[in-house]
Amino acid sequence: MNRLASNLRTLIAQQGISENELSERTGVPQPTINRILRGESRDPRDSTVAPLARYFGTTVENMKRGEGAPGDTMSVETDDLSDSAAAIWGSVLLPHLHGFDREAGPASMAFPETLIRELAPLRLAGRLGWVVNPTDSMGDTLPKGAVAFVDRSYQEIRGNGIYVIRLFGEPSIMRVQIRGESALRVMGNNRFEESIDLHGDQIGSLSVGGLVVGFADRIKLIE
């Protein structure tokens, strides 16, 4: 079995979902997913793998590479987020998304520049912020208490992705999928978390704080 097939099989098993469910949530046809799992599609296009990588919170490179687990990340120890580490590496102040987690938090926090180097274009454009994940709805993809880096320019749902939201007044970080002209599906990565379908006026109950583009204490950049 090739690495892509092995990684995808592992991720599907960890999530406890079927090929049909994965197809529905990512838009990748079920026969394509099945061919990848059987090793018949050994090197599919990146555009085919990208929706799968986004769903599982990893990258196309991690899905397809020849060694290591699909969820491998740069290890960041707790001390790496301390003031002393920031002073050594050079620190970047990022604004906090107030109202989208359950902790008031400081108005801004210093992060080591190395931690968000690949997010520099968003930072320079003044679009990058942070928030603490308030729930365990995203499972191991984004654990409760992890810091999420957010593109604050997303104040509405513009496409499928992981968003910082308030739904019916409750803050959370969830996957949002566009289901039609006036329909959204909100879901987590925790298999015990039920999906919520919103239609028409119900969408007005959804407030958007931004699109999740990366996170720490395990830093992952989401394509």
Q: Which domains does the chain have, with CATH numbers?
A: 3-70 (1.10.260.40), 78-221 (2.10.109.10)
Report how far residue 122's alpha carbon sits from residue 80's, in angstroms, rounded to the nearest whole number: 22
Q: How far is CA 222 from the centre of its chain?
A: 6
Q: Which residue has the higher pLDDT, 6 or 84?
A: 6
Pick from 163, 158, 169, 170: nearest CA to 210: 163
Tell me the average pLDDT of the chain.
76
What pTM, to 2 d.p., does this model score?
0.57
Mean pLDDT in residue range 99-104: 68
Q: Which residue has the higher pLDDT, 66 or 63?
A: 63
Q: What is the percent of the chain where pLDDT is above 90?
A: 16
Query: pLDDT tens-digit profile of 37-52?
Result: 988 887 788 889 988 8
Pick from 166, 174, 176, 209: nearest CA to 190: 174
Banded model confidence at residue 115, pLDDT cuts 50, 70, 90: low
Residue 190 pLDDT exceeds 50? yes
pLDDT at 33: 93
Q: For the CA atoms of 202, 171, 55, 61, what is the dihedral angle to 10 degrees?
A: 140
